Amino acid sequence: MPIRDTDMIRAWTQVLTLSRLKAGDAVTVLTSDHTHPQTLRCAITAATMMGACVSRLDLPPVNGEKALSRDTLAYLGTTPLTGNRAAIAALKASDLVLDLMTLLFSPEQHEILASGTKILLAVEPPEVLARLVPTLEDYHRVQAGVALLKGKREMHVTSAAGTDLRLPLGDYPVTAEYGFVDQPGRWDHWPSGFAFTWPNEGGAQGRIVLAKGDVLLPMKNYVGEPITLTVKNGFVTAIEGDAEAELLREYIESFDDPEAYAISHVGWGLQKRAFWSTLGLYDREATLGMDARAVSGNFLFSLGPNNEAGGSRATACHIDIPMRHCHVFVDGLQVVNDGKVVESLMQPATGKEPAHA
């Protein structure tokens, strides 16, 4: 059901307040052909009402002839900023960039963040954004998840379907996504709500069994039959099953890049207002599927790049796979039990408030 502009402006105002927007700050709204017009106009209205100096930078889309779908995460690497020095300079001169285009996994994004500019991605449909507008509770919940990952040596994931995956940890940072950008140089995604990290290069070992109802992204499909992935030395070496396994193999093979099979980020969802069923209620081109990525208690893993974490893999193929009914252990401590977060572990640390609170 559509949402009123007044509600979207209110949602944007909450996000911008949590992101510590101040009167006089330079805000650049980054857009392209697929930017949602209501999200755009309400973002500009809210930022202007808060006293920001707002500009819009509209860039043409790229990679359409290479990608197999219209999903903005279907082909990574080059972006509309690649080689565009004037646009990069404008974004680096901004205090805050509202990314309504999808700028991810690119050296240009890293360069902009390194300048101190904050970047907030927001490309889901307006009603999804409004339902999942971030809160301080989200912040605390995700920080509790981050604390469970920091300094740990192994994540172990099992399921009744047959998953048994071991992921050595420690070489890469732990990342928190809670939906707003409260520190200089921070990137986040509204909506979100999860904690994750990357396994040590070449270390992941075991088996992943995708069961009925698990989700493949960017395909935006619910799995209808078991798919078994064999993981050796950090890479998927076999994809077994029936027609859906064959389609998954074909998609990855289309990139002609062995790095597309690497295990990328791993973690679990913490957003209590996200729903597994939402993906089935939207046209595939209308959503990135953030409900499935963030829903509390999922095990979310991906295949493909790790350059976002400082690694060297920059493959254009990125697949996110949220799974239900998994058990997740970190150094032997169970943090997810049969697809449900162990809530006693999600209590905020005393005195740990975001800088703006």
Q: CB–CB of 264/324 below 8 Å?
A: no
Confidence of residue 103 (pLDDT cuts 50, 70, 90): confident
Q: Is the pLDDT of residue 68 over 80?
A: no
The string of pLDDT tens digits covering residues 273-317 is 999 999 999 988 889 999 999 999 999 999 999 888 888 888 889
Domain ranges of the chain: 5-131, 136-345
> Mean pLDDT throughout 97-109?
88
pLDDT at 92 over 90: yes
Average pLDDT on 327-332 reads 98
Distance from CA of residue 104 to its chain's centroid? Answer: 10
3-class state of residue 59 by DSSP: coil
Q: Which long-range contacts (CB under 8 A, 24 or more apart) does 68-72 make?
A: 68/251, 68/254, 69/218, 69/219, 69/284, 70/34, 70/285, 71/218, 71/220, 71/284, 71/285, 71/288, 72/34, 72/101, 72/102, 72/123, 72/288
pLDDT of residue 51: 98
| pLDDT single digits (tens) 1-53 | 789 999 999 999 999 999 999 999 999 999 999 999 999 999 999 999 999 99
Q: Going by C-beta distance under 8 Å and a sequence separation of 6 or more, which residues neighbour residue 17?
A: 50, 356
Comparison of pLDDT for 310 and 264, the residue scoring more: 264
What value, to the nearest 5°, has the Cα angle with vertex 202 and ends 196 and 206?
A: 75
Whole-number pLDDT of residue 172: 96
Which pLDDT value is given to residue 357? Answer: 37
pLDDT recorded at residue 314: 85
> Which H helix or E strand runs over 210?
strand 205-210
What mean pLDDT is predicted for residues 187-191?
Answer: 97
Q: Taking the mean position of all CA atoms in its chain, how far away is CA 249?
A: 23
Query: What is 83-106 written as a DSSP string?
Result: T-HHHHHHHHT-SEEEESS---S-
Give dist(CA 185, CA 141) in Å, integer: 22
The reported pLDDT for the residue numbered 78 is 74
5-131 folds as Rossmann fold (3.40.50)
pLDDT at 353 over 80: no
Q: Which residue has the higher pLDDT, 236 or 109?
A: 236
Beta-strand pair 154-159/194-197: unpaired
What is the pLDDT at residue 75?
63
Residue 338, pLDDT score: 98
Q: How far apart are CA 310 and CA 100, in angstroms?
A: 24
State yes or no: pLDDT of 63 exceeds 90: no
What pLDDT does 356 receive? 43
Count of C-beta atoms within a 10 Å radius of residue 17: 13
pLDDT higher than 90, residue 247 = yes
33 CB-side CA count, 13 A: 8
**Average pLDDT of span 175-189:** 97
pLDDT in tens, 222-244: 999 999 999 999 999 999 999 99
Mean pLDDT, rounded, for 310-337: 94
What's the confidence (pLDDT) of residue 106?
A: 79
pTM, rounded to two decimals: 0.93
pLDDT value, residue 309: 84
Give the per-residue pLDDT at 80: 84
pLDDT at 217: 95
**Radius of gyration of the chain from Cα atoms?**
19
Q: 237 or 107: which carries more pLDDT confidence?
A: 237
CA distance 331 to 152: 6
b/e code 226-244 from CB counts within 10 Å (16+ = b): bbbbebeebbbeebebeeb
- pLDDT at position 354 over 60: no
Q: What tokens appear for 161 in the block? A: 């379907």
130-176 pLDDT, tens digit each: 999 999 999 999 999 999 999 999 999 999 999 999 999 999 999 99
